[in-house]
């Protein structure tokens, strides 16, 4: 069973996070959380003191607190009802916090995964993630499932980026425990021959020994990529996962290659570890995981160190 805390604010992206959790996670038991905005304090109402009695101000602040709690509870119940329709075992929570991501992170400590939606639909609409998703992405201490608005279906495999790092293996271990889809374990690589001026010069030199050398170099890189991907798939299968290997090549960066591959194979989601190197790079999150979350049309599962 997978305990999932799912952030819900009534948006299309939040509903996508609920749907992705129901479709991708193993026996999900969900708590739908809507963060209460903090009510104004008496100190913040200081300007009203010149015109209103103290008792009126206090009653107004209390009314705002109660109405905020009620709105949060109504929203969480709406999310739980939607989740129940998806087959999720769902409860509700309405944590309070000045910053929603901190309230969610604190509440999520006893969960296996924290799910949320992104702001906007498509890569253009998500050039800047919503503040909650972005902050969780950089600060959460447990796996995240981040779903874009409009994501649905989830019938395909999960594409797992793999680079033989501990971060990549950690992501596969998470999948073995909590993801029910089959996996394609992919190692993205870039040909040093096809995408460099020097490589092009060797290929088109007209000198047989140089052209043979260029072809040999390309073959070596391709073989290493295939071996790395197969090692990842073998590790995944040792964990009980249904996994195959892929070694996509592209002149673009790793995350763009993974996105293209996800489209080609009809992936339901993309899985990436963090604090690794290559296809799951992360120093401060890392360009690959960040690029995937900002641009992917499918949910991205990020497993931190």
Write out pLDDT tens, residues 234-269: 999 999 999 999 999 887 778 899 999 999 999 999
Q: Is 239 in the same domain as 147?
A: no
3-state secondary structure of 88: coil
Give the chain's mean pLDDT. Answer: 82
For residues 259 and 277, give the distance between their C-alpha atoms in angstroms, rounded to a whole number.
17
Q: Is 294 in the same domain as 189?
A: yes
DSSP, res 253: -
Identify the sign of the CA torsion 156, 296, 92, 9.
negative
128 or 30, higher pLDDT: 30
Q: Is 273 in the same domain as 147?
A: no
Alpha-helical runs (H) found in the chain: 12-24, 54-85, 100-107, 122-125, 131-139, 166-178, 197-203, 208-238, 254-265, 287-295
**Residue in 117, 121, 125 with CA at minimum distance from that of residue 146:** 117
Radius of gyration of the chain, Cα coordinates, nearest whole angstrom: 23
Q: Is 270 in the same domain as 144?
A: no
Q: Is 159 in the same domain as 305?
A: yes
CATH number at residue 239: 3.40.50.620
The number of residues in the chain equals: 305
Q: Is 137 in the same domain as 181?
A: no
- pLDDT > 90 in the chain, percent: 49
| Structural domain boundaries enclosing 54 | 1-152
Q: Is 120 in the same domain as 171?
A: no
Q: Is 148 in the same domain as 161?
A: no
Q: Is 145 in the same domain as 164?
A: no
Model pLDDT, residue 284: 36
Token pair 């931190």 is at which residue?
A: 304
301 or 192, higher pLDDT: 301
For residues 181 and 228, give the distance between their C-alpha atoms in angstroms, rounded to a whole number.
21
* pLDDT tens sequence across 165-218: 998 999 999 999 999 999 999 999 887 755 555 655 555 566 665 455 456 667
Q: Is 101 in the same domain as 177?
A: no
Indicate the pLDDT class of residue 295, thresholds 50, 70 and 90.
confident
The first and second tokens of residue 129, run together, are: 């993630």
Q: Phi, psi (5° rounding) for residue 198?
A: -65, -40
Domain count for the chain, please give it: 2
For residues 228 and 276, give the distance between their C-alpha atoms in angstroms, rounded to a whole number.
14
Model pLDDT, residue 126: 42
**Which among 84, 118, 152 is the end of a domain?**
152
């Amino acid at each position: 069973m997978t305990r999932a805390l799912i952030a819900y604010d009534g948006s299309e992206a939040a509903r996508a996070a609920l749907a992705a959790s129901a479709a991708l996670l193993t026996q999900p038991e969900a708590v739908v959380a809507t963060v209460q905005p903090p009510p104004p304090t008496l100190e913040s109402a200081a300007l009203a003191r010149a015109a209103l009695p103290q008792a009126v101000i206090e009653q107004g602040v209390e009314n705002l607190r109660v109405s905020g709690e009620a709105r949060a509870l109504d929203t969480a119940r709406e999310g739980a009802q939607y989740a129940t329709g998806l087959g999720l075992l769902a409860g509700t929570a309405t944590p309070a916090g000045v910053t929603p991501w901190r309230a969610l992170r604190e509440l999520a400590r006893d969960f296996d995964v924290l799910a949320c939606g992104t702001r906007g639909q498509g890569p253009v609409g998500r050039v800047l993630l919503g503040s909650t998703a972005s902050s969780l992405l950089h600060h959460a201490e447990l796996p995240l499932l981040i779903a874009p608005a409009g994501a649905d279906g989830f019938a395909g495999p999960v594409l797992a980026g793999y680079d033989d790092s501990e971060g990549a293996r950690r992501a596969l271990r998470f999948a073995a425990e909590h993801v029910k889809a089959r996996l394609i374990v992919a190692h993205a690589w870039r040909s040093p021959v096809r995408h460099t001026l020097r490589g092009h010069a060797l290929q088109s030199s007209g000198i047989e020994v140089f052209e043979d050398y260029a072809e040999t170099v390309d073959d070596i890189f391709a073989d290493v990529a295939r071996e790395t991907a197969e090692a990842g798939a073998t590790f995944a299968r040792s964990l009980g996962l249904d996994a195959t290997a892929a070694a996509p090549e592209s002149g673009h960066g790793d995350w763009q290659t993974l996105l293209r591959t996800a489209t080609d194979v009809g992936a339901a989601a993309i899985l990436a570890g963090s604090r690794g190197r290559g296809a799951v790079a992360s120093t401060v999150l890392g360009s690959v995981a960040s690029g995937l979350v900002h641009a992917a049309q499918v949910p991205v599962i990020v497993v931190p160190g």
